[in-house]
């Protein structure tokens, strides 16, 4: 389970994706629009961007644009998961692509719907909580989280079988979807069944999505919730159905 080389290589992968977005955000700046910031910031942390955008709820004239940003930033999580899986264990992609992309499509449909609704043309300042992902402290924290989840997945599988893997995936997804995705993709290269890995990855994405839905309700309030939650729940339901039928 504890392979330092493998763990650090996966940390560099995630940090590399985040660093590309970090540089882009610093170059473009938040003054050029909420949507650009949301799309770039989601590559670093879609949860952080969800919090950042939800905090702008008092700008009533921007609610439609905020809903666009919230749905778009969450939608990008699914292609990011597929990219991570493709790099670590490409054999999982045939089963995982359809449910994740169906879910993503519902999110993007909602983003487009609100994008073409009227909103104030002026941009708003968004203090996206983005830090350099190549800084040592965040990288070490992610490495420790990844090592812990790798251990928990293996321990859960040995102690409780498939149910243990699913429980770890659900709990891990509450905080971070990248670490559990990498862990399951790596374990599936060994003796973890591919179907269990795919279901676990989807469960992690599901729990992470529900956390962000809760943040929208708790921070953004009713106005943003009614604009985004129907698309989020419809997408997750559709993705789950596709996964079960595959």
Across all residues in the chain, what is the average pLDDT? 79
Q: Look at 184 and 46; give whichever has higher pLDDT.
A: 184
- C-alpha pair distances (Å), 149 with each of 139, 165, 181: 15, 10, 10
> With 0-12 CB in 10 A as exposed, 13-18 as middle and 19+ as buried, what is 132?
middle
Task: Scan for tokens 């990288």, then name that residue.
Answer: 139
- Greater confidence (29 vs 140) lies with 140
CB under 8 Å to 65, separation ≥6 — which residues? 34, 35, 114, 115, 119, 120
Q: In this predicted structure, what is the pLDDT of residue 24?
A: 58
Per residue in 60-69, pLDDT tens? 777 888 898 8
Q: Identify the pLDDT of residue 52.
A: 73
At residue 204, does pLDDT exceed 80?
A: yes
| Per-residue pLDDT reduced to its tens digit, 150-159 | 677 667 667 7
Confidence check: pLDDT of 120 > 60: no
């Amino acid at each position: 389970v504890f392979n330092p080389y493998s763990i650090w290589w996966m940390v560099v992968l995630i940090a590399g994706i985040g660093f590309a977005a970090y540089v882009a955000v610093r170059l473009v700046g938040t003054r050029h629009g909420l949507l650009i910031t949301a799309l770039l910031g989601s590559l670093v942390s879609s949860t952080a961007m969800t919090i950042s955008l939800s905090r702008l709820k008092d700008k009533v004239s921007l609610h439609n644009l905020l809903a666009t940003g919230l749905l778009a930033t969450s939608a990008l999580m699914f292609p990011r998961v597929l990219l991570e899986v493709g790099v670590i264990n490409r054999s999982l992609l045939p089963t995982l692509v359809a449910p994740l992309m169906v879910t993503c499509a519902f999110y993007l449909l909602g983003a487009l719907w609100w994008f073409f609704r009227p909103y104030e043309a002026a941009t708003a300042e968004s203090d996206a909580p983005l830090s350099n992902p190549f800084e040592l402290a965040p990288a070490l924290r992610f490495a420790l989280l990844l090592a812990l989840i790798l251990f928990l997945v293996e321990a859960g599988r040995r102690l409780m079988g498939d149910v243990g893997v699913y429980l770890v995936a659900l709990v891990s997804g509450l905080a971070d979807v990248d670490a559990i995705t990498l862990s399951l993709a790596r374990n599936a290269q060994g003796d973890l069944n591919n179907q269990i890995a795919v279901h676990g990855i989807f469960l992690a994405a599901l729990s992470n999505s529900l956390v962000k839905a809760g943040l929208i309700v708790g921070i953004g309030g009713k106005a943003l919730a009614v604009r985004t939650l129907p698309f989020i729940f419809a997408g997750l339901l559709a993705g789950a159905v596709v996964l079960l039928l595959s």
